Structure 1
Amino acid sequence: MGFREVGDAIRRQRVLLGVTQPDLAEIAGVSVNTLCNIERGQANPTLKVLLQLAEVLGLELKLMIKSPGEVTK
């Protein structure tokens, strides 16, 4: 999953919950600018920021580590 897909998932959940960008940013402890960039797929957020957003939005963040030589689907 790339940055664009992560941003799309965050935006979809935020809109589904009826939360504005400024409100989500404040609750999650990130700047509105950072959230906007994440939602547009134009940011490289830290794991901490992604976990903060996921927690507020009720999302689960999964980390998958592929083995050397494994092909990503």
Structure 2
Amino acid sequence: MGATQKIGQMIQQRRDHLRITQRQLADMADIGINTLYKIETGQANPTLHSLQKITDILGMEITLQIKNVSSE
């Protein structure tokens, strides 16, 4: 599973857990419902700004980590 699909899946799961509809979340985040649908299904490459708005509403946090790469 690619990164955009994983992000979309996490957003959809959190939205479902909070019992927020796609329409409600799209309205709160000021994005189109089609855009949100595409983000949740991994069909879109959302901007960081859009992701920040969505995750703030859902009580989520975006973090970056350095990969653990072993040198064998």
* TM-score when normalising by structure 1: 0.86
Structure 1, unaligned stretches of length 5 or more?
none
Q: Please report how far the alpha carbon of residue 64 of structure 1 lies from its aligned counterpart in structure 2 after TM superposition.
A: 3.4
Structure 2, unaligned stretches of length 5 or more?
none
Q: Spell out the pairing of 1:1-73 with structure 2 (5 A cutoff).
A: 2-64=3-65, 71=69
Name the CA distance, whole Å, in 2 between partners of 1:49 and 1:64: 20
Name the CA distance, whole Å, in 1 between partners of 2:14 and 2:56: 12
Q: Please report how far the alpha carbon of residue 3 of structure 1 lies from its aligned counterpart in structure 2 after TM superposition.
A: 0.3
RMSD: 1.5
**Could you list the runs of 4 or more consecutive aligned residues of structure 1 that deviate by over 6 angstroms after TM superposition?**
none
* Residues 12-68 of structure 1, C-alpha deviations (whole Å, 9 max, x = no match): 0000000000000000111000000000000000000000000000001112366xx
In the alignment of these two chains, the number of paired residues is 68
Overall identity of the aligned pairs, in %: 43
